[in-house]
Amino acid sequence: MSTIKDVANEANVSVATVSRVLNNNGYVNEDTRKKVLKAIEKLDYKPNAVARSLFKKQSKTIALIVPDIKNPFFPEIARAIEDVLNNNDYTLILCNSDEHEDKEKKYFDVMKQKYVDGVIIVTSTLAPNYIEKNNIPIVSLDRPIHQSIPSVSVNNYEGAKEAVQYLKAIGCKKIAHVRGPVSVINADERYKGYLSEVCNEPWFSEEFIINGNYNVLETAKATMVLLSKHRDIDGIFSGNDYMALGVLKAATQMGIRIPQDLSLIGFDGIQLCELTSPEITTMAQPIYELGESAAKLLLNMIEGKAVNPAQQEFKVSLKIGQSTKVLR
Amino acid sequence: MSTIKDVANEANVSVATVSRVLNNNGYVNEDTRKKVLKAIEKLDYKPNAVARSLFKKQSKTIALIVPDIKNPFFPEIARAIEDVLNNNDYTLILCNSDEHEDKEKKYFDVMKQKYVDGVIIVTSTLAPNYIEKNNIPIVSLDRPIHQSIPSVSVNNYEGAKEAVQYLKAIGCKKIAHVRGPVSVINADERYKGYLSEVCNEPWFSEEFIINGNYNVLETAKATMVLLSKHRDIDGIFSGNDYMALGVLKAATQMGIRIPQDLSLIGFDGIQLCELTSPEITTMAQPIYELGESAAKLLLNMIEGKAVNPAQQEFKVSLKIGQSTKVLR
DNA sequence: TTCTAACATGTAACCGGTTACACATCAAAA
DNA sequence: TTTTGATGTGTAACCGGTTACATGTTAGAA
């Protein structure tokens, strides 16, 4: 690899001049510029990003911290983010936290040591003041942490209400809920949305709420228990699409037909919804847009641009599949 | 952030001594070491990874280049890799190539500019000599490129044969194949494995081979055409699990029952296989192990350790689900 | 007692860029 | 003709580490 010095020698100028050409700042005579450009071409010179980072204290790199990239929601998000970064000459570092605060903090340390310019994080465990004292541009995605921290998320509460309302509208008489992990903010919000819609119904019972922990197999098991005890449940609102797979599995195994016997609605709108049979009805988040917005927001923060709505909330929209009865 | 100079001042020693303590090399008096350690503690000093990189010409970072992280095979691989890296104080950069050579090359340029220590790549488009001239430790994963380039993959040909043999064993009389993209090496190998098992069968016809391009919707469409034309097909070997979802979808839509009317076997063994109903029978790759091995192999190469079997081939194993008739 | 090698520490060059500053030129304005 | 500001370029400090080399001490061997 040739260095800026090699280019300077080749072009018979100083490194400062080469640097000026490279960065397009300062005064450079047109002929000199051409000479330098020719030398760069000849030597196939690529500036050393590390040296540049050291001086500039920034690395053109951002980190994405998610609980587990194997959860199919996150690859879709990650893809959107990477696309934006790629278009802006940034690089993406991927981190799996397993919802574990220690791992998150360890990643933060590394990020700072590597001059990572910013972080997009999906977390429920990290305290706002820890983040603030780290003093690194950050966007929380999918799960708002605190007003003080810019975030990109959706209206989970209203979305959940809408999901349950839809189940009611198509004629469901007893609606259960598979909730996500306790104290994961979006799971809590969706749970509250469900609750607000059903708590005053005469048929409602606490037993209609089970915890699937955003885990498919756990959900399948719990659903089997639920459905064998309450055979008259005819609607299930699943806290996310991934768990809806578990519900689908349990129902199929028990010979319960979806949607004839049981209507199922999920949340998220991951691509997988369209690939199952029946296709899963869901409250779809604009997933790609979420990732895109988070990335753009973060880049703006890094470049010091004004960031007006620091808390961006997108709307979810009903995406009707085949897992719910047809509305007449 | 405090620097090594701050620590040196605090401990009343030179930066060289601090560096020696940090890296545990050279001679350092025990008392001095303690003084330095105390200063480090007091200042909460973390060495600057960028400065270190500049001198050492290495970044403790490796890149993973995959076609598209949204394909569920890759997050599982990525997770395995990240785990290994995390345990070895390396960081993972994620790149999506979309099977596009230009993007791959662009990533390579960036990698070199950032002193990325090595690359794990899933590619069909990159030429061996391009890779070699880049002179950066590399492991090709899932798809061997050339003998000269270390790789981690599975026995696709034999695996495919075994899959078809199993379909025969359970009594399938006419077996079709949904193949992956032409000139993607593993898709080609699986196709050849299928062909070697069926080309001499009296019932065989070229029409039994359709191209799903590793894409679910495309597969679903092609499968519907196939199955409406050839109603007597009773077995399908899908080139991967992801496309098997498409077959499943098509069959369900057409009222063809799996496995009663049609047995379906996939390839890969992604987690999704267990989450559908019926669960998909598949030739399972040891996915986590593959990622793990690729990462360990690469780290060994980076650290200059001998790498004996530069071409690691794992075996796939039949994982019986519910999408194939029961063997009696 | 002198020599030698292990121990201990500091100085400064180096990694490969960026940029503040100094200096020189030149054309237009005064 | 002198002043001035825009233009053009080079020198060297700096970013924050690592390490070759120099220097000095000390203890055991000769």
Predicted local confidence at residue A290, as pLDDT: 98
User: Is 80 exceeded by the pLDDT of residue A327?
Assistant: no
Q: SS in 3 state form for chain A?
A: CCCHHHHHHHHCCCHHHHHHHHHCCCCCCHHHHHHHHHHHHHHCCCCCHHHHHHHHCCCCEEEEEECCCCCCHHHHHHHHHHHHHHHCCCEEEEEECCCCHHHHHHHHHHHHHCCCCEEEECCCCCCHHHHHHHCCCEEEECCCCCCCCCEEEECHHHHHHHHHHHHHHCCCCCEEEEECCCCCHHHHHHHHHHHHHHCCCCCCCHHHEEECCCCHHHHHHHHHHHHHHCCCCCEEEECCHHHHHHHHHHHHHHCCCCCCCCEEEEEECCHHHHCCCCCCEEEECCHHHHHHHHHHHHHHHHCCCCCCCCEEEECCEEECCCCCCCCC
* Domain identity same for B136 and B160: no
Task: Enumerate residue ranges in chain B where pLDDT < 50.
Answer: none
* Domain identity same for A140 and A206: no
CB count, 10 Å around CB of A328? Answer: 6
Interface residue of A64, A70, A130, A252 to substitute, partner B, most B CBs within 10 Å:
A70
* Domain identity same for A23 and A110: no
Distance C2 C1' – B16 CA (angstroms): 32
User: Is 80 exceeded by the pLDDT of residue A250?
Assistant: yes
User: Is 80 exceeded by the pLDDT of residue A273?
Assistant: yes
Q: Looking at chain B from residue 60 to 89, which residues have their Cβ under 8 Å from any Cβ of chain A?
A: 61, 68-70, 72, 74-76, 78-79, 82-83, 86
CATH number for the domain spanning A15: value is: 1.10.260.40
Cα of B201 to nearest chain A Cα, Å: 33
* Domain identity same for A115 and A161: no
Number of domains present in the structure of chain A: 3
Asked, for residue A281, whether it belongs to a domain, the answer is yes
> What are the residue ranges of helices labelled H in chain B?
4-11, 15-23, 30-43, 49-56, 73-87, 101-113, 128-134, 156-169, 185-198, 216-229, 241-254, 287-302
Asked, for residue A323, whether it belongs to a domain, the answer is no
Question: How far, in Å, CA of B72 to CA of B158, rounded?
Answer: 23
Asked, for residue B327, whether it belongs to a domain, the answer is no
Asked, for residue A53, whether it belongs to a domain, the answer is no
User: Is 80 exceeded by the pLDDT of residue A175?
Assistant: yes
Decide if B255 touches A, using CB distance below 8 A.
no
pLDDT over 70 percentage in chain A: 99
CATH number for the domain spanning B137: value is: 3.40.50.2300
Asked, for residue A109, whether it belongs to a domain, the answer is yes
What is residue B57's three-state secondary structure? Answer: coil
**pTM (two decimals):** 0.95
CB count, 10 Å around CB of B133? Answer: 9
* Domain identity same for B293 and B281: no
Q: How many alpha carbons lie under 13 Å from residue B41 in its C-beta half-sphere? A: 6
Q: How many alpha carbons lie under 13 Å from residue B113 in its C-beta half-sphere? A: 21
* Domain identity same for A239 and A265: yes
A69 confidence band (pLDDT: 50, 70, 90): very high
Predicted local confidence at residue B327, as pLDDT: 75
Asked, for residue B53, whether it belongs to a domain, the answer is no
* Domain identity same for A256 and A269: yes
* Domain identity same for A163 and A134: no
Strands A209-211 and B61-66, sheet pairing: unpaired
* Domain identity same for A92 and A71: yes
* Domain identity same for B72 and B93: yes
* Domain identity same for B109 and B178: no
Distance D5 C1' – A35 CA (angstroms): 27
Asked, for residue A68, whether it belongs to a domain, the answer is yes
Question: DSSP labels for B10-42?
Answer: HHTS-HHHHHHHHHT-S---HHHHHHHHHHHHH
Q: Which domain holds residue B75?
A: 61-154+287-314
Q: Looking at chain B from residue 1 to 60, which residues have their Cβ under 8 Å from any Cβ of chain A?
A: 1, 46-51, 53-54, 59
A304 confidence band (pLDDT: 50, 70, 90): confident
* Domain identity same for A209 and A276: yes
Of A50, A74, A109, the CB nearest to B114: A50
